[in-house]
Structure 1
């Protein structure tokens, strides 16, 4: 039975198939794998640990000469994602009705969903279609994890003053450390680099499944059409923006598109904003379910969209990730 070969025929199959299978199980029979011990540890609660191990393996592949490229990619994605999300949020404030909503969406839900990205999905996409520097860029992307950039946008809009304490430097270091450990090991010993390289691709379906066990399709129903609309905008607008920005820099555009998602922890952002400014308390519940719906929608839609973009590049003769193995190589067909 050719399971691996079948999955590889599906765009992003190593990621999307386990993720969707787990999401279906979590929606229909959520307690099936929540039976404790090793089963729950691996298939339900293992996403963070598996992603951390993936980052360590990835870090081992980074040559110190490429660190600057990785930081440049991370900063570019971070900036692009924030500008697009903040711009849409500002647009929502301009055109909001008397109820404070635009197209049924709360502006803070738009900013929270569109400026915050799912690191697990990004890692899964670039793990399959990206190179070493694409994967290492995640260390900087951890900065958009949480309400910090939503706060910055709202501060700029004059909707609220800057509030300290919502961004933890410790959390950022905690994301970065596995990459640093791997990078040290890989640069000290070439054999360790080769040994850890095997984990980069092997771990993808396992943490994708664990990510799927955090997705509940019913959240799409709760968030309604407006939440789905937010998810569509997040994938197609921020993902496409990242794609073309990376293409302009002659970097792998799929890595740019991989930021077109909403992180699960963005669901807590509206509540965090309201805790800092009570003026947002009236829209917290609505914004929360809309962000939740966007999280589920993008988790399903982004791998499909990435698959479409990959096919588009392949028709132009681009081989992923081979044609972007070294970032100084310029591919005119990309």
Structure 2
């Protein structure tokens, strides 16, 4: 049975198929693999550990002489993601109706969802379509985890004052450290670099499955059409912006599109914002379910969007 060959025929199949399979299991039989010990550790709770190991293996492939390119790519993605999310959020505030909503969306939900990205999805896509510099760019992308950049956008709009304590340097270092350890090993010993190079591709389907075990299709229903709309906007607007900017710089544009998602941790952002400023309390609950729906929608839609970009139908038409 040619399982791998069949998965390889689907763009991003080594990531998409395990993720969707796990999401189906989590939605309809959530306790099937939550039986403790090694099974649960690998298939349910293992995403963070597996991604950390993936980052270490990827870091070992980085030559210190080219690390500046990774920082440039990471910084560019971080800014593009934040700028597009903030701009759409500002538009939503400017044209919101009497109920404070724009097309049924809470502006807070828009900013929280669109300025945040799913690092696991990014690494899975880049693991298949990118190179070692693209993988190392994730060290900067960790900055958009949590409510920090959402607060920055809101403070710029004058919607609220800047609140300290929402960015943790320790959290940022904890993401960066596996990459740095890998870089150290790979640059000190070429044999270690070669040994660890085998780990990156192998880990992708395993952490993709674990990521899928955090996806519940029911969240799409709970968030309603507005939450699905938010997910579609996040993929199309931020993904396309990243694609075009990377293409303009002469980088792999697929890597730019890989940031077009919403991470699960963004679901907690509306509550964190409301805790910092009580004026957001009235929209916090609605924003939370909309962000949750965006998280699920982008996890399903982004790999398909990337597959569409990889096929590049407009390029074939020019030939």
Matches within 5 A, 1:21-60: 21-60=21-60
Task: Using structure 1 for the length normalisation, give the TM-score.
Answer: 0.94
Aligned to 1:128: 128
The CA deviation at 1:54 is: 0.0
Q: Which residue of 2 aligns with 1:329?
A: none
Compared CA separation, residues 314 and 189, structure 1 to 2 (3 A):
farther
Partner residue in 1 for 2:2? 2
Pair 210,314 (structure 1): closer, same or farther in 2 beyond 3 Å = farther
**1:66: Cα distance to partner?**
1.1
Where in structure 2 are the equivalents of 1:40-119 lying within 5 Å?
40-119=40-119
Q: Which residue of 2 aligns with 1:11?
A: 11
Q: Deviations over 1:26-67 (max 9, x none)?
A: 000000000000000000000000000000000000000111
Q: Deviations over 1:186-213 (max 9, x none)?
A: 0000000000000010000000000000
Please give the TM-score of this superposition, normalised by the length of structure 2.
Answer: 0.98
How far apart, in 1, do the equivalents of 2:107 and 2:267 lie? 14
What is the deviation of 1:312?
1.1
Quick one: structure 1 residues 313 and 47, their matched pair in 2 at CA, closer, same or farther if it must change by over 3 Å? farther
Partners of 2:315 and 2:276 in 1: CA distance = 50
Cα distance in 2 for residues equivalent to 1:136 and 1:27: 33
Quote how far apart the aligned CAs of 1:134 are.
Answer: 0.4
Q: Name the CA distance, whole Å, in 2 between partners of 1:13 and 1:315.
A: 22
Q: Distance in 1 between matches of 2:217 and 2:254?
A: 26
Contiguous gaps of at least 5 residues in structure 2:
none
Cα deviation digits, residues 274-330 of structure 1 (max 9, x gap): 0000000000110000000000000000001101111118966xxxxxxxxxxxxxx
What value does the CA root-mean-square deviation take over the aligned residues? 1.3
Q: Deviation above 2 Å: which 4+ runs of structure 1?
A: 313-316
Cα distance, 1:270 vs structure 2: 0.2
Q: CA deviation at 1:151?
A: 0.1
Instruction: Extract unaligned runs of 5+ from structure 1.
Output: 317-332
Q: Distance in 2 between matches of 1:17 and 1:191?
A: 33
Give the equivalent residue in structure 2 for 1:319. Answer: none
Find the residue that maps to 1:203 and give its secondary structure: helix
1:290 matched residue in structure 2: 290
Equivalence for 2:188: 188
Distance 1:40 1:173 in 2: 27
Deviations 1:5-46 (A, max 9, x none): 000000100000000000000000000000000000000000
Residue in 1 that maps onto 2:231: 231
Q: How many residue pairs end up in the alignment?
A: 318
Which digits, 9 at most, give the CA deviation of each residue in 1:180-239, with x for residues without a partner?
000000000000000000001000000000000000000000000000000000000000
Alignment of 1:160 with 2:157, yes or no, is: no
Specify the SS of the correspondent of 2:33: coil
Aligned to 2:169: 169
For residue 134 of structure 1, give the secondary structure of its aligned residue in structure 2: helix
State the SS of the aligned residue for 2:197.
Answer: helix
